[in-house]
Amino acid sequence: MRAVIVAIGVAFLVSLFCTPIAIRVFTRLKAGQPIRAEGPQMHQGKKGTPTMGGVVFILATVIAYVAGHLALTTLPDAQIAQVEPTITALVLLGLMVFAGAVGFIDDFLKVRKRHSGGLSARGKLLGQILVGAVFGVVALYFPSTMTDATGAQTNTETVGSTTLSFIRDIPALDVTKIGAVIIFIFVVMAATNGVNLTDGLDGLATGASVMVLGAYAVIAFWQYRHWCADPAYTANPNNYCYTVRDPLEIALIAGAAAGACVGFLWWNTSPARIFMGDTGALGLGGLIAGMAMSTRTILLLPIIGGLFVIITMSVVIQIISFKTTGKRVFRMSPLQHHFELAGWSEVNIVVRFWIIAGIGVAIALGLFYSDFLANMG
């Protein structure tokens, strides 16, 4: 627990104090956010606000991970904690960094062209597929090992699983390694685009991501405390345990990313002094996809990230309706812009959508804990 708290604190402080520096640097470089002409007219006042702020909390998460590992070396139960960096960390941080890099290219092109059209839709999609495929293969084909206090190597689990999962793996739904990689690519695409579509109002995506990542930190830490690789816990055969790879690593990274987002939210809340840009949105989406895979809760993700699903579906519904009937269901999509045009204030929309995000997280955690109680009983 100490390592997770250290990571959260370091990430928060780095993000909180480095974001103003990023604001000054990006302002000096004239890296302002172009605003779509077809978007809500009230957004034109945001033109020129520094973008690419996701660089700050991605960097803060990586720094906090290192700090958390320094704290790990002093844990009394280090014999069941992976003190050395793991494949799990490589996959999770790699997803965040490289998905964020795809977003950075998009942001850079927008700033350079002084136009809201950056990387082409096809280019962005190919980038997401490539990131998902590379880290999906690493997660499914490269088991990690751990050396305990006696020198024995234990728990050679892969980061991902060949079976679909809800609260845990569902053995009857084995999709093979190739199938699992393909499904993970889809999850990466869905999560990155879901967060990106949600990032339309000051603080909306940042706050929602804090809740989602916080939920994954809780899930992963609970799995660590009830881990099948912990001989002290499994000594009692009646104890229910989780077969996952490096749950403490997952909790540490999820907590660090949540803390970094809270620090960034201080400057990103309305009126935003900096935007996360596609750099941050795609980075967070990649990390959230990795969290779902590594905690073996793939099918629980649509509930944990319920707000992202709702906003994404509003875009899908709008496109299908317009192409089939020529009519729009919403005044504008994504959904948050519909309510803007309906007269809601930006702050009201953000707070109410945060409530929706919180409800999704609460339901997901309730289902997770209920499953544990049912199995312990």
Using CB atoms within 10 A of its CB, is residue 270 exposed (0-12), middle (13-18) or buried (19+)? middle
* Cβ partners under 8 Å of residue 366, min gap 6: none
Maximum Cα interatomic distance, the chain, rounded to a whole number of Å: 69
Buried b (16+ CB within 10 A) or exposed e, 37-63: eeebeebeebeebbbbbbbbbbbbbbb
Say what the pLDDT of residue 200 is.
85
Residue 110 has pLDDT above 90, yes or no: no
Residue 87 has pLDDT above 50, yes or no: yes
Residue 32 has pLDDT above 80, yes or no: no
> Over the stretch 159-171, which tens digit does the pLDDT of each residue have?
999 999 999 999 9
Residue 232 has pLDDT above 90, yes or no: no
Say what the pLDDT of residue 376 is.
78
What average pLDDT score do residues 278-284 get? 97
Say what the pLDDT of residue 337 is.
93
Q: How far apart are CA 114 and CA 163, in angstroms?
A: 45
* Alpha-carbon separation of residue 354 from 8, 12, 267, 268, 306 (angstroms): 21, 20, 17, 15, 11
Say what the pLDDT of residue 78 is.
47
Q: List the structure tokens of 159.
A: 């980061």
Say what the pLDDT of residue 42 is.
64
Residue count of the chain, please give it: 377
Write down the pTM of the prediction: 0.93
Say what the pLDDT of residue 79 is.
44
> Over the stretch 290-307, which tens digit does the pLDDT of each residue have?
999 999 999 999 999 999
Instruction: Judge whether 371 is annotated as a binding position.
Output: no
Instruction: Judge whether 196 is annotated as a binding position.
Output: yes
What average pLDDT score do residues 328-339 get? 93
Closest CA to 213 of 35, 26, 364: 364
Residue 130 has pLDDT above 80, yes or no: yes
Domain spans of the chain? 1-376
Closest CA to 249 of 298, 295, 314, 195: 295
Mean residue pLDDT of the chain comes to 90
Indicate the DSSP class of residue 271.
S
Say what the pLDDT of residue 141 is.
93
> Over the stretch 42-81, which tens digit does the pLDDT of each residue have?
666 677 789 899 999 999 999 999 999 887 766 554 444 5
Q: Packing angle between helix 346-376 and helix 306-325, nearest 10 degrees?
A: 120
The answer for 131, left when phi > 0, alpha when psi is -120 to 50, beta otherwise, is alpha
Q: How far apart are CA 257 and CA 10, in angstroms?
A: 10
Residue 154 vs residue 197, higher pLDDT? 197
Say what the pLDDT of residue 65 is.
96
Residue 82 has pLDDT above 60, yes or no: no
- Secondary element (H or E) of residue 110: helix 87-113
**Among 119-133, 233-247, 260-274, which stretch is predicted with the lowest mean pLDDT?**
233-247
Q: Helix count (H) and strand count (E) of the chain?
A: 13, 4
